Chain A
Amino acid sequence: MSDKEPLFSKKNLKLLSDPLNSSNPITVQVLGICSALAVTAQLKPSVVMSLSVMAVLAFANVIVSLLRNTIPNRIRIIVQLVVIAALVILVDQVLKAFVYDVSKQLSVFVGLIITNCIIMGRLEAFALGNKPWPSFLDGLGNAAGYGVILIIVGFVRELFGSGSIWGYKVIPASWYIENGGFYANNGMMILPPMALITVGVIIWVQRSRNRKLIED
């Protein structure tokens, strides 16, 4: 191959870093909101969900990219869906067999990865037209961009909603009103609407720092 470029060329690195900021799938493209609201009541499921999405998206991107010159155009969406669904079931089965605790934590959400718009979006927009290696990086980058937001939201919601981080209590018990203190957990935080508001605040902060993202 004459146009062989280094594995981590500038262009390839941009595939990894762009989704973390200027083309973040959640805050800029507003994809994958559904699962961002559902799993982020606590930090731990947020992290595991991010890792699972990363595995599925990276491999789905590679597989679709390898198949890209053979896929019949008229059924390409179905082919993508089959690839995603097969990977998700595999991930689910492997989790159940070897890390049973984690699999129980995620319960229904593993299955919901199939419906995550980001995955389908990246397959359709990127993997169908690019080589496997850039597709792999694009998958990693986008899943990381998704994961970062999930983890921020999960952190905020668990801290203010349950007074804990990763299941460990961080707000001293003596602060609580029932123990004679002044503090109460915000029950709203564990409900999905607060996830939307938290994502909104992240979008606000991001756009105020990066004026290019503001639409007219």
Chain B
Amino acid sequence: MDRNSNVYTFIYASGMVIVVAAILSIAAINLKPFQDRNIEVEKKQNILASVNIQADATNAEEIYAEKIVNSYVVNSQGEKVEGDAFTVDLKKERAKPTADQKLPVFECQIDGGVKYIVPLRGAGLWGPIWGYLSLEDDMSTIYGASFDHQGETPGLGAEISTDAFETQFKHKEIYESGNLVSITVAKANETAPEQHKVDAISGGTITSKGLEKMLLDDLSSYNAFFNQKK
């Protein structure tokens, strides 16, 4: 058959597309359960990382079951509402008006006290960034933080997920005499009170500022809940 005829070209292209589509669909369907499980385990690892427990993929579920003693969903008034904290999709919630948003809270029993863990989600330079922040029971002192990102630049914005950046948050305060001030992610020329400030990442200004906005926005929606708990 003439390899340059229109009919051959057409049949060839159609056949190829069908074969490739079939291979990719089969691969996607069969690999999906593994991928979902990885994502779930990773989420548990991230939650644990915010209370300074470094779990790996093999023991994360076990430690999570032991340490995370309670989880529930609140609204922006701080009232408990129905829902499973672990499966709340923050991306969807953030798109809703503030009053309708479901805000997950996880309680962790560690160091002889209860720490409150809240999830965060915001925008970096290239895509979403997210994380978990744990608070002491005074609801102001940060116990630990963990951040992650989808596609920030390695060596620059991606540094937000490193220990060096995350440990800066320990013992910082998000309240100043009863008002939520959150945390400033400061460049060298910015001044902010030491207990409300961490150092930004050089070369990662937009990611750093995105993280600062994420903290302020998301902690604000928990303001009522934090005030109740104090």
In contact, A187 and B20 (Cβ under 8 angstroms): no
Contact A72 B38 (CB under 8 A): no
Kindly list chain B residues whose C-beta atoms are within 8 Å of the C-beta of A93: 27-28, 31, 35
Pairwise interchain contact B154-A45, C-beta atoms closer than 8 A: yes
> In residues 117-162 of chain A, which contact B (Cβ within 8 Å)?
157-158, 161-162
Q: Do A190 and B126 contact each other (CB < 8 Å), given the known contacts A78-B13, A100-B57?
A: no
Is A97 part of the contact surface with B, judged by Cβ < 8 Å? yes
What chain B residues lie within 8 Å of A158 (beta carbons)? 155
Whether B110 sits at the interface, judged by CB under 8 Å, is no
Alpha-carbon gap, A47 to B52, bound state (A): 30
User: A57-96 interface mask toward B, CB cutoff 8 Å, 1 = contact, 0 = none?
Assistant: 0000000000000111111001100100010011001101
Q: A205 interface residue, CB < 8 Å from B?
A: no
Give chain B nearest CB distance to A66 CB in angstroms: 13
Instruction: Return chain B residues, CB-CB under 8 Å to A157.
Output: 155
Question: Is residue B3 contacting chain A, with contact meaning CB distance below 8 A?
Answer: yes
Give, as a whole number of angstroms, the nearest-CB distance from B230 to chain A.
Answer: 37
Asked if B23 lies at the interface with its beta carbon under 8 angstroms from chain A, I say yes
Measured between alpha carbons, how far is A151 from B154 in the docked complex, in Å? 15
Contacts A70-B12, A187-B203 known; A161 to B126 CB distance under 8 Å?
no
Chain A min CB distance to B32 (Å): 8
Whether A96 lies near B13 (C-beta < 8 A) is no
- From B24, B57, B155, name the one whose CB has the most chain A CB atoms within 10 angstroms: B155
| Cβ-defined partner of A96 (8 Å) among B8, B23, B38, B57 | B38
Within the assembled complex, what's the spacing in Å between the Cα atoms of A42 and B158?
Answer: 11
Residue of A nearest to B39 (CB): A100
Residue total for A at the interface (Cβ-Cβ under 8 A): 32
CB pair B154–A42 under 8 Å, yes or no, is yes
Q: Interface range on chain B: under 10, 10 to 19, 20 to 34, or 35 or more?
A: 20 to 34
Query: Which interface residue of B13, B39, B153 has the most chain A CB atoms within 10 A?
Result: B153
> A108 — which chain B residues lie within 8 A by C-beta?
126, 151
Question: Does A107 interact with chain B (Cβ within 8 Å)?
Answer: yes
Q: Is the CB of A86 within 8 A of B150?
A: no
Closest to B31 in A: A97
B34 touches A97 (CB 8 A): yes
A39 at the interface (CB under 8 A from B): yes
**Which residues of chain B from 32 to 84 have any CB-CB distance to chain A below 8 Å in the complex?**
34-35, 38-39, 42, 57
Partner of B38, one of A70, A100, A187: A100
Query: A98–B156 Cα gap in the complex (Å)?
Result: 27
Give CA–CA (A70, B16) in the complex, Å: 11
- Beta-carbon contact of B16 and A79 below 8 Å: yes
Complexed CA–CA distance, A90 and B30 (Å): 12
Residues A89 and B24 in contact in the complex (CB < 8 Å), given A70-B3, A94-B31, A190-B203? yes
Cα–Cα distance between A96 and B27 once the two chains are bound (Å): 12
A72 near B156 with CB under 8 A, answer no
Which residues of A are found within 8 Å of B155, using beta-carbon distances?
A: 41-42, 157-158, 161-162, 190
Contact yes or no, A107 B151, CB < 8 A: yes
Q: Distance in Å from the Cβ of B34 to the closest Cβ of chain A?
A: 4
Which residue of B has the minimal Cβ distance to A94? B31
Query: Can you list 19 A-B contacts (CB < 8 A)?
Result: A41-B156, A42-B155, A70-B12, A72-B13, A73-B3, A74-B4, A75-B12, A79-B16, A82-B17, A90-B27, A93-B28, A96-B35, A107-B151, A108-B126, A157-B155, A158-B155, A162-B155, A190-B156, A191-B156
